[in-house]
Chain A
Amino acid sequence: AQTVTQSQPEMSVQEAETVTLSCTYDTSESDYYLFWYKQPPSRQMILVIRQEAYKQQNATENRFSVNFQKAAKSFSLKISDSQLGDAAMYFCAYRRNRGGYQKVTFGTGTKLQVIP
């Protein structure tokens, strides 16, 4: 069974600084997608970034980028120039890409605090 592990329950970062959130996963599949979702205090889930396992190039979305290490099964999220609006819970998620039921598995989340 696929599992997703986020080992940092809480992190803090100074405004305008850079922070990296960690995620590891376990799967026997070779074709899958990884996602980072953000959940602000409103509790609305928002997609931050996604990465296809077959793409070697790390995904980037503005101030958000990932470090995808397929062999190590690691998928960290880097937030550059942190802003107060980045304060939220961040969830890493996994989904197999082809065939069968496309179950989406989430990690336990990392609460990010941004210090002014």
Chain B
Amino acid sequence: DGGITQSPKYLFRKEGQNVTLSCEQNLNHDAMYWYRQDPGQGLRLIYYSQIVNDFQKGDIAEGYSVSREKKESFPLTVTSAQKNPTAFYLCASKLTGGVGEKLFFGSGTQLSVL
């Protein structure tokens, strides 16, 4: 079945540590997105990518980095520069070039600080 897979479901980060959240899709979608969800703040865009080897900063990119070496994969690294990383992270993808396509979401990763 086609879909988006995020792993791990739960992740714990120690002080000063970088951690990487995985996002893989087999939907043949060009565009991929990373959102951060905090209680009462909705979904805020971290990074997005419309094609391989290209990505754009979203509204809250500081302390995060991404890569898009393959169409299927869009990993997010939470660096030690992100001082408040505890949140629920959602990855999404969609087709580009058409109209009105919805976002397909993964099941999310809950990141907590030890």
A binds B: yes
Decide if the interface of chain B is mainly helix, strand, loop or mixed.
strand
How far, in angstroms, from A47 to B102 measured CA to CA in the complex? 7
**Does any Cβ of A come within 8 Å of B114's Cβ?**
no
Over the window 33-56 of chain A, the binary record of Cβ atoms lying under 8 Å from chain B Cβ atoms (1 yes, 0 no) is: 101010000111101001010000
CB–CB A103/B45 < 8 A: yes
**Does any Cβ of B come within 8 Å of A105's Cβ?**
yes
CB–CB B88/A33 < 8 A: no
How far, in angstroms, from A6 to B90 measured CA to CA in the complex? 20
Q: Which residue of B lies closest to A47 (CB)?
A: B102
Which of A52, A104, A107 has a CB less than 8 Å from the CB of B99?
A: A52
A106 → chain B, closest Cβ, in Å?
4
CB–CB A106/B42 < 8 A: yes
Decide if the interface of chain A is mainly helix, strand, loop or mixed.
loop
B24 → chain A, closest Cβ, in Å?
17
CB–CB A91/B56 < 8 A: no
Given contacts A45-B90, A103-B48, contact A91 B42 (CB under 8 A): yes
How far, in angstroms, from A78 to B105 measured CA to CA in the complex? 24
Further 19 A-B residue pairs, CB within 8 A, beyond A44-B108, A104-B103: A33-B99, A33-B100, A35-B103, A37-B103, A52-B99, A52-B100, A91-B42, A93-B103, A97-B100, A102-B31, A102-B94, A103-B48, A104-B33, A104-B45, A106-B35, A106-B44, A106-B45, A107-B42, A108-B40
